[in-house]
Amino acid sequence: MSAQDVVLAASSDSPSLADRLRPHSKGHAHSLPRHAPPLSVSAPNPAGGGVAASRRRRAEVGGGAEAPEQDGGARRRGRDRGSLAGRSPRRPAVKVTAPPRGDAPGPPAVGLVPAPLGVLSLTSSSSRPREDSWLKSLFVRKVDPRKDAHSNLLAKKETSSLYKLQFHNVKPECLEEYNKICQEVLPKIHEDKHYPCTLVGTWNTWYGEQDQAVHLWRYEGGYPALMEVMSKLRGNQEFAHFRKARSNMLLSRKNQLLLEFSFWNEPVPRSGPNIYELRSYQLRPGTMIEWGNYWARAIRFRQDNNEAVGGFFSQIGQLYMVHHLWAYKDLQSREDTRNAAWHKHGWEELVYYTVPLIQEMESRI
């Protein structure tokens, strides 16, 4: 059949090719009448078809059912792209809409995509990228599910010791008297076998917050041991007088209940004299596991001079707090020991990864 036969075979009451390509209203894309049957879009047949087949395909591409315009931007896009069907040498933009179905409010969103010559591409604005795409995996941080509390994952399993860290801000004129009454009363509680607690250490700050006393207690047996000690101290008359005299010397006080990191040294008595550094870190919420993983490797770089005393993390009080306690012979020994760590391969990498986990940090000597 010739191309002329194909053109003449069209029904007399059907719109002509010129009518089908003529815009129905100013500012709208070329389209078929609204009641035209759905158009089937297929790739061109390379076997033949001639001029008439080429024209028929161009008419089908440019005359899709017209979708209601949603806004001014959509109308402008229709105006800009409506004449692409007639420009066969260029890459056509295919406009695809689904016919209304039943009582549906209207056709779905329309997607316009450029297609290469000889290929017709269909797309919809409702398509979404796969959640497991490689691009999304670069920006989404995946958190491994945890089936246990952080305290159980990080604390020592072989002991159930609980630590209490006390900070007492003393009136400057009362610091000497404060130290005197503490030396009289606190060691008695430490030595009494009826109290399941140990005074790990008591210090005054030289550098950091001035006129401050720091006490570290250990309760063998965890929370039950703590409650037992508190109950017995309420009936201890000497301790009651001590607390009353102490209250007149203090400006403020606070405490925290801590657990010990499983990879840190156990605090033990040391021969002196020594200076102690308490380094406190306020971590970003949710980063305690990361901190523990990094410091489980980092602690081996800080054992050469036996400077590591203990490492703790808070359970009650100011949360996501970490305390590292170090011992040195003097300030120069501290400087030399810390500098030596930077000459060990791997230390700088661990510091690099732990610094972003910190919100605030403080050092007390």
Q: 279 is written with which tokens?
A: 């380094």
The answer to whether residue 141 is domain-embedded is no
Task: Say if residues 202 and 215 touch (Cβ distance below 8 Å).
Answer: yes
Q: Beta partners for 255?
A: 166
286: left (phi over 0), alpha (psi -120 to 50) or beta: left
Amino acid at 71: D
109 and 245 inside one domain: no
Distance CA 80, CA 93 (A): 10
CB 342 within 8 A of CB 348: yes
In a domain, 192, yes or no: yes
Q: Are residues 88 and 237 in the same domain?
A: no
Rounded Cα distance, 80 and 213, in Å: 77
Q: Which of 63, 97, 114 is the last residue of a domain?
A: 114
CATH of the domain at 301: 3.30.70.100
The answer to the question of residue 127 being in a domain is: no
| DSSP helix/strand/coil, 73 | helix
Residue 147 is predicted with a pLDDT of 64
Task: Give backbone dihedrals phi and psi of 47, rounded to 5 degrees, phi first.
Answer: -75, -20
Rounded distance, CA 290 to CA 271, Å?
A: 34
Domain assignment present for residue 326? The answer is yes
Shared domain for 333 and 199, answered yes or no, is: yes
- Beta strands in the chain, from DSSP E residues, in sequence order: 93-95, 112-114, 162-170, 197-204, 212-219, 250-260, 275-283, 308-316, 321-328, 358-364
Is 337 found in the same domain as 266? yes
Query: 78 and 165 share a domain?
Result: no
DSSP reduced 3-state for 234:
helix
> Residue 136 domain-assigned?
no
DSSP code, position 112? E
Q: Residue 134 falls within a domain, yes or no?
A: no
For 332, counting Cβ atoms within 10 Å of its Cβ (0-12 exposed, 13-18 middle, 19+ buried), the class is exposed
Q: Phi/psi at 55 (nearest 5 deg)?
A: -65, -40
What whole-number distance in Å separates Cα of residue 109 and Cα of residue 321?
52
**In total, how many domains does the chain have?**
2
User: 176 and 81: one domain?
Assistant: no
Are residues 109 and 163 both part of a single domain? no
Same domain, 277 and 157: yes
Instruction: Let me know whether 185 and 318 are in one domain.
Output: yes
Q: Within this chain, do residues 97 and 156 fall inside the same structural domain, yes or no?
A: no
Residue 139 lies in a domain: no
Residue 95, domain extent: 3-114
What tokens were used for 232? 């017995």
Supply 108's token pair. Answer: 């779905």
Assigned domain for 43 exists: yes
Q: What is the pLDDT along the chain (365 residues), one digit of tens a residue?
A: 444 444 444 444 445 544 544 544 444 444 444 444 444 444 444 444 544 444 554 444 444 444 444 444 444 444 444 444 444 445 554 444 444 444 444 444 444 444 443 333 333 444 444 445 445 444 444 445 456 677 778 887 666 799 999 999 999 999 999 999 999 999 999 999 999 999 999 999 999 999 999 999 999 989 999 999 999 999 999 999 999 999 999 999 999 999 999 999 889 888 889 999 999 999 999 999 999 999 999 999 998 889 999 999 999 999 999 999 999 999 999 999 999 999 999 999 999 999 999 999 999 99
Residues 217 and 290 both lie in one domain: yes
Shared domain check, 184 and 99: no
DSSP structural state of residue 41: -
| pLDDT at 112 (0 to 100) | 40
**Amino acid identity at 305:** N
